[in-house]
Amino acid sequence: MKILVAVKRVIDYNVQVRVKEDNTGVVTENVKMSTNPPDDNAIEEAVKIKESGKATEVVAVSVGEEKAQETVRKALAVGADRGILIKADGVIEPLAVSKLLQKIVEKEKPDLVFMGKQAIDDDCNQTGQMLSALLNWPQATFASKIEIRDKKLEVTREIDEGLETIEINVPAIVTCDLRLNEPRYASLPNIMKAKKKPIEQINASDLGIDTSPRIEQIKVEEPPKRKAGIKVKSVAELVQKLKNEAKVI
Amino acid sequence: MSVLLIAEHNNKELKPFTLNAVTAASQMNTDLHAIIIGHNCADAAKKLSELPLVKKVIQVEAAHYENFVAENFAPVIVKLAENYSHVVCSANTFGKNLMPRIAASLDTSQVSDIIKVISADTFLRPIYAGNAFATVKSKDPKKCITIRPTSFDPCESSGGSAPIEKAEPSEEFNNTKFVKREEIKSDRPELGTARVVVSGGRGMQSGDNFKLITSVADKLNAAIGASRAAVDAGYISNDHQVGQTGKVVVPDLYIAIGISGAIQHLAGMKESKVIVAINKDGEAPIFSVADYGLEADLFEAVPQFIEELNKLNTIQK
């Protein structure tokens, strides 16, 4: 079994995001970038499956600017065997990403494609489902547990009502929830080893996909601020305010 | 061209957020049709036809639609979509799972999780977990839109009598099989729709101490929430999690107890109408969004709070 894992480079989740003064986007200069958190879960799961002997190769792929190579390199440092970087500048919407990934799937012929359920920058939650539509493969989104049984996967999905279990045949797409596993840290020797692992670079334009945005971003603004509240001195005052001022109890 | 709304239901009843999605869809175009796909879902279809904003209901029935598998649903909607300018659904796990599969088949770049309809092609949506709001314009001829249900009011639920048309089911997708669904049953209001939410964080120190949260919730007929830190620490199950990676809630009253207010948590609750924070760290970020902050040890303050609530005899149920 071969597993392809898609990873995205995003602003680190601990960074307080700031909107640019000209309202064209958010500040990304001199801001710490990291792997999209649920993509770390996707890599971890693929590596665990390989370690259990059920997969033979884990390939990490990213779409983005030259620096996205760091994100691929990090996947190699936690156990992926080799990497692919599809180079593209500017905003690449999930539809275009899924078309680019489709080209890689056709070339690499993986049995499984893993990725995070959602990127924490654009919060779209689309790429995995779009890729499975383009390939006409089954999709297991928001996975919190994966069991491999021969050529089938039993996947537990996090849904609003609780948990849902589905069985899908490979080849298939799985999008990973944060609760799927606990991603490991890369050890120093493995970071050194990862530097020797190959990363193939492909230009998005060479894959014959039109990646120009279909959605025009008109402006990006700060969300409306809440008015500053007050501190109460005692529980009795709190209850009195909630009852007589806010009238919510 | 008209709008096609995808109804969410459980084959017997409409899911409440379908009404919010109808409101959003009607703001894109008032010529609004609703599709309901399921198995033995005539009762739910009838309820859909009674929504005054819905002009026509399309009902599609087959055994393989019983469990809402996206691979089965998408082809029917893609086929019908040729008659519509917009396909709309709620951005909960049902819609998040389904809509991109439709959008990719229609070669449309989906606009996810909108919180406002500015015009038929322009929408407001939060990005970076609500730390920025983007105004976006879809240039695709067909729009695929998911809406954040808590940002739209539910539509009127009775008085309409739209015609119900039947449409042909598509073939079953054989590579995905539904196995089971484990719904979390509770006598409490659902977290996503409760009028009052009481949440605990890492400050609770143990799962056992969550009994304090439960007691407050009992008094106020509230749903119980939690921060990711409390869930990760194993104090409470993850279906209670409020935040960027959990549920987004907009209750009338949100009470955060022992929650510091990480960005990820604030993203899930800061639109609540009234926010109360009880925390012993006066510098905790939760106080920056709280209407009423109480800087106190929760293990002293919460029992007092319960006592004060006991004294009130006008508690709304």
pLDDT at position B314, please?
53
Q: Which two three-digit tokens encode residue A19?
A: 């909107």
Residue A35 has a CB neighbour count (10 Å cut-off) of 26
The answer to whether the CB atoms of A19 and B292 lie below 8 A apart is no
Which CATH number do you get for residue B205? 3.40.50.1220
The pLDDT tens digits of the residues spanning B36-89 come to: 999 999 999 999 999 999 999 999 999 999 999 999 999 999 999 999 999 999
Q: B50 and B158: one domain?
A: yes
Q: Which two three-digit tokens encode residue A13?
A: 């989740």
What is the residue-wise DSSP string for B226-269? Answer: E-HHHHHTTSS-GGGBBSTTSB----SEEEEES----HHHHHHH
Task: With CA atoms as reference, report the closest residue to A156 among A182, A133, A179, A137.
Answer: A179
Does residue B171 belong to any structural domain of this protein? no
User: CA B291, CA B276: separation in Å to the nearest integer?
Assistant: 6
Chain A residues closer than 8 Å to B182 by CB: 162-165
Q: B134 and B202: one domain?
A: no
Does residue B99 belong to any structural domain of this protein? yes
- Tell me the pLDDT band of B261, cut-offs 50, 70 and 90: very high
Give the residue from chain A lying closest to B134, CA to CA.
A220
Residue A181 half-sphere exposure toward CB, CA atoms < 13 A: 20
Identify whether the C-beta of residue B103 lies closer than 8 Å to the C-beta of residue A94.
Answer: no
Nearest-CB residue to A235 (from B69, B192, B304): B304
Does residue B35 belong to any structural domain of this protein? yes
Distance from CA of A77 to the nearest CA of B (A): 25
The answer to whether the CB atoms of A160 and B92 lie below 8 A apart is yes
Enumerate residue ranges in chain A where pLDDT < 50.
none
Within 5-44 of A, beta carbons closer than 8 Å to B belong to 11, 13-14, 16-17, 19, 26
User: CA B8, CA B17: separation in Å to the nearest integer?
Assistant: 8
ipTM of the complex: 0.94
User: CA A159, CA B213: separation in Å to the nearest integer?
Assistant: 24
The answer to whether the CB atoms of A219 and B135 lie below 8 A apart is yes
Identify whether the C-beta of residue A70 lies closer than 8 Å to the C-beta of residue A9.
Answer: yes
Residue B124 has a CB neighbour count (10 Å cut-off) of 17
pLDDT at position A224, please?
84
B interface test, pick of A24, A126, A132 with most B CB neighbours within 10 Å: A126
The pLDDT tens digits of the residues spanning B191-213 come to: 888 899 999 999 999 999 999 99
pLDDT at position B316, please?
47
Is the pLDDT at B317 greater than 80? The verdict is: no
Give the residue from chain B lying closest to A127, CA to CA.
B100
Does residue B282 belong to any structural domain of this protein? yes
The mean pLDDT value for B121-137 works out to 94
pLDDT at position A192, please?
96
* Total number of domains in chain B: 2
The answer to whether the CB atoms of A217 and B182 lie below 8 A apart is no
The mean pLDDT value for B93-122 works out to 97
Chain B residues closer than 8 Å to A162 by CB: 181-184, 239
Which CATH number do you get for residue B12? 3.40.50.620
User: CA B149, CA B248: separation in Å to the nearest integer?
Assistant: 10
Burial class, A30, CB count within 10 angstroms (exposed 0-12 / middle 13-18 / buried 19+): exposed
Q: B205 and B304: one domain?
A: yes
What domains sit in chain A, N to C, each tagged with a CATH number?
2-244 (3.40.50.620)
Q: Which two three-digit tokens encode residue B314?
A: 């006008």
Give the residue from chain A lying closest to B180, CA to CA.
A165
Tell whether A212 is within 8 A of chain B (Cβ). no
Pairing of strands A112-116, A172-176: parallel
The answer to whether the CB atoms of B181 and A159 lie below 8 A apart is yes
User: CA A164, CA A246: separation in Å to the nearest integer?
Assistant: 39
The answer to whether the CB atoms of A217 and B136 lie below 8 A apart is yes
Q: B237 and B107: one domain?
A: no
pLDDT at position B183, please?
84
Task: With CA atoms as reference, report the closest residue to B135 among B116, B149, B150.
Answer: B116
pLDDT at position B163, please?
98
Q: Which residues of B162-197 are buried (b: 16+ CB within 10 A; e: fewer)?
A: bebeeeebbeebebbbeeeeeeeeeeebebbbbebb
The answer to whether the CB atoms of B176 and A138 lie below 8 A apart is yes
Q: B128 and B25: one domain?
A: yes
User: CA A202, CA A157: separation in Å to the nearest integer?
Assistant: 33
pLDDT at position B312, please?
82
The pLDDT tens digits of the residues spanning B145-183 come to: 999 998 899 999 999 999 999 999 999 999 999 999 998
Identify whether the C-beta of residue B179 lies closer than 8 Å to the C-beta of residue A153.
Answer: no
Does residue B187 belong to any structural domain of this protein? no
Give the residue from chain B lying closest to A119, CA to CA.
B128
Identify whether the C-beta of residue A229 lies closer than 8 Å to the C-beta of residue A219.
Answer: no
Tell whether A249 is within 8 A of chain B (Cβ). yes
Domain range enclosing B257: 196-311
Does residue B146 belong to any structural domain of this protein? yes
Q: B159 and B265: one domain?
A: no
Give the residue from chain B lying closest to A132, CA to CA.
B101
Give the residue from chain A lying closest to B113, CA to CA.
A124
Distance from CA of B272 to the nearest CA of A (A): 10
Q: B210 and B274: one domain?
A: yes
Residue B67, strand partner residues: none
Report which DSSP code applies to B68: -
Mean pLDDT, chain B, integer: 94
Q: B116 and B204: one domain?
A: no
In whole angstroms, how far apart are CA B212 and each of A206, B251, B260? 60, 20, 18
Q: B74 and B144: one domain?
A: yes
Identify whether the C-beta of residue A79 lies closer than 8 Å to the C-beta of residue A48.
Answer: no
Q: How many CB pairs under 8 A join A and B?
A: 245
- Tell me the pLDDT band of B313, cut-offs 50, 70 and 90: low
pLDDT at position A115, please?
98
Residue B285, strand partner residues: none
Q: What percent of chain B is predicted at pLDDT more than 90? A: 84
Nearest-CB residue to A242 (from B69, B122, B292): B292
The answer to whether the CB atoms of B292 and A131 lie below 8 A apart is no
Q: B162 and B203: one domain?
A: no
Does residue B94 belong to any structural domain of this protein? yes
What is the residue-wise DSSP string for chain A? Answer: -EEEEE--EEE-TTS---B-TTSSSB--TT--EEE-HHHHHHHHHHHHHHHTTS-SEEEEEEEESGGGHHHHHHHHHTT-SEEEEEE--S---HHHHHHHHHHHHHHH--SEEEEES--TTT----HHHHHHHHHT--EEEEEEEEEEETTEEEEEEEETTEEEEEEEESSEEEEE-GGG--PPPPPHHHHHHHTTS-EEEEEGGGGT-----SEEEEEEEPPPPPPP-EEESSHHHHHHHHHHTS---
pTM for this one? Answer: 0.90
Distance from CA of B174 to the nearest CA of A (A): 9
Does residue B236 belong to any structural domain of this protein? yes
User: CA B313, CA A236: separation in Å to the nearest integer?
Assistant: 15
Nearest-CB residue to B127 (from A122, A238, A242): A122
Chain A residues closer than 8 Å to B94 by CB: 159-160
In whole angstroms, how far apart are CA A149 and each of A1, A152, A153, B34? 12, 5, 6, 39
Chain A residues closer than 8 Å to B212 by CB: none
Give the residue from chain B lying closest to A230, CA to CA.
B292
Within 62-101 of A, beta carbons closer than 8 Å to B belong to 93-96, 98
Residue A188, strand partner residues: none
User: CA A162, CA B259: separation in Å to the nearest integer?
Assistant: 24
Nearest-CB residue to B315 (from A179, A216, A249): A249
Q: B151 and B220: one domain?
A: no
Region of residue A134 (phi > 0: left; psi between -120 and 50: alpha; otherwise: beta): alpha
User: CA A148, CA A48: separation in Å to the nearest integer?
Assistant: 12
pLDDT at position A11, please?
95
Within 124-183 of A, beta carbons closer than 8 Å to B belong to 124-134, 137-139, 141-142, 154, 157-169, 172, 178-179
Q: B161 and B106: one domain?
A: yes
